[in-house]
Structure 1
Amino acid sequence: MTIQNHNPGLDSPNIIRSKDKNALEQNSDGVSIQVEKLSDRQRQITAQVQIHQPVQKVWKILTDYESLVEFIPNLTKSSLIEHPEGGIRLEQIGSQCLLNFKFCARVVLDLEEVFPKLIKFAMVEGDFKGFSGFWRLEPYKLETGEGTDLCYTIRVWPKLTMPIGIVEDRLANDLRSNLLAIRQRASW
């Protein structure tokens, strides 16, 4: 983890914090976000969006892991690395500005793909105490074909040196930005 002094403008997050674990509230951009407090320093954040493209197209975008840096905001590295047991292992680095600081976080994730509906991931090394989650893709009918309900859920447990409130707000905003970027990429 790297923190550098920087002077950005702060964006005000539009995040839903609900006691109802099943409540996802949608913003005007069509992305629903829910933040759930699992414990004092652990959060589960879920984001969901509808994409007017078939599941197979969205799947292809999500699983082209090394191309994610081309369009996902704040993702500066996404590289497949050797997995000791032959699975899928991905190193990612995110970088962004928070409260006058440039913040970088690195994770190495083991992934499990269940085509065409689920991509699970869990951190095996990185700058958090814990980081895991999944992408879930579900088809829905459009008048002219098929769309995809895309859900992205993460469970994060920051180290003590990382303020949980800032991490929670930033990740919730990042999930929104990520889903919007994926929706835009799918429309190409």
Structure 2
Amino acid sequence: MAFCIFVLQSSKLVSSRAQTSVRTYQLSSKNTVRVFTGKVLVGRTCRRLSKWLLASADSESTVNQCVSEEKIVKEVTEVISGVDINVRLTSLGGRRRRISGGLDIEAPVKRVWEVMTDYEKLPEILPNIVESRIISDTGGDKQVEQVILLSRTFNIRSRIVVQVIEDYLKALRFLKMQSRDFEEFDGTYRFSEIESGHCRMEYSLVALPNVFFPVSLVERKILKEVPKLLSNIREVAINGKKKEEEEHSFS
């Protein structure tokens, strides 16, 4: 089917049910160019054109609004085991938040990958995960059920089922499939090789808690836990186990 491009060079539009004069109406396709002059009925064509223009304007306005709403809430740098771990919390507008961070790990990318893809052992590494088990494995993408500890004092936990998308030795993506507490939960780990064969790991999570879930609780939790999470991954990748340390959670 030939792809057609319509070019309206000059027109005078009155109403959707009226006639209007169009000086030149050019219809060009892949093989032909025809020019029509005189009177044409606008009707449905004008209404469609108006709707398209309005939709385009609304789309551009929405994009501009999202860009303007994105702002940094807080940036922290923690030194754990002599390593600087930088974490940034960003508001994406409304209740959506993004947490991002990264660090260098003195181990090969493959070793870090093996640690991160041993999903049922993640509770031994990550301080905020209480349970983790594979419920579906098709040989490609996996489904993993996890229980996340949100408050140790009040024993607040959240169950979530995520789809894990693996890009071998490059990236891991955890995408929410089921959750009562989060409308959106989209996390990514990215791995790259740096000097001396070591690994650079970067982490990013976009979370949107439901309306009954305090955003402030999520903010405090992720700012406190993410540096420890990244540090523990590093320790296990290097030493085979994490350092024993007392873990606390806020109220």
TM-score normalised over the length of structure 1: 0.80
Alpha-carbon separation, structure 1, partners of 2:216 and 2:223: 11
Take 1:107 and 1:31, find their aligned partners in 2: how far apart are those partners?
27
Among candidates 233, 241, 244, match of residue 182 of structure 1: 233
Which of residues 146, 155, 169 is equivalent to 1:92? 146
Aligned to 1:122: 175
Letter of the 2:144 partner, please give it: L
- 1:59 matches 2:113: yes
After superposition, residues 44-83 of structure 1 pair within 5 angstroms as 44-82=98-136
Following the alignment from structure 2 to structure 1, what is the Cα–Cα distance between the partners of residues 137 and 176? 13
Which structure 2 segments of 5+ residues have no match? Answer: 1-69, 240-251
Q: What is aligned with 1:104?
A: 157
Q: After alignment, is 39-48 or 81-90 more displaced?
A: 81-90
| Matched residue, 2:188 | 134
Offset, 1:102: 2.1
Q: Which of the pair has the greater relative contact order for Cα pairs under 8 Å at 6+ separation?
A: 1
Distance 1:86 1:51 in 2: 27
Give how far 1:125 is off: 0.1
Asked if structure 1 preserves the Cα contact closer than 8 Å seen for 2:104 and 2:201, the reply is: yes
Give, as a single letter, the amino acid of the residue that structure 1 aligns with 2:114.
K
Residue 83 of structure 1 and its aligned partner are, at CA, apart by 5.7
Partner residue, 1:42? 96
Equivalent pairs counted in the alignment come to 166
**1:167 pairs with one of 199, 210, 218:** 218
Structure that is richer in helix per residue: 2
Identify unmatched segments of 5+ residues in structure 1.
Answer: 1-17
Q: 2:199 aligns with which of 148, 152, 160?
A: 148
Residue 27 of structure 1, aligned match among 55, 70, 78: 78
TM-score (norm 2): 0.61
Find the structure with the greater CA-based Rg.
2
Q: What is the rounded CA distance, in whole Å, between the counterparts of 1:24 and 1:162 in structure 2?
A: 23
Q: Aligned AA for 1:181?
A: N
State the Cα deviation string for residues 135-169 of structure 1 (Å, max 9, x = none): 00111113xxx111111100000011111012112
What residue in structure 2 maps to residue 113 of structure 1? 166
State how far apart, in whole Å, the 1-side matches of 2:97 and 2:148 are.
Answer: 18
Deviations 1:69-104 (A, max 9, x none): 122213111100126896311111012426x52210
Q: Are the counterparts in 1 of residues 89 and 100 from structure 2 also a CA contact under 8 Å? A: yes
Please give the alpha-carbon distance, in whole angstroms, between the structure 1 residues aligned to 2:95 and 2:140.
Answer: 33
Amino acid at match of 2:91: K
Whole-angstrom distance in 1 between the partners of 2:145 and 2:172? 16
| 1:7 alignment partner in structure 2 | none
Structure 1 residues 96 and 43 mapped into 2: Cα distance closer, same or farther (>3 Å)?
closer
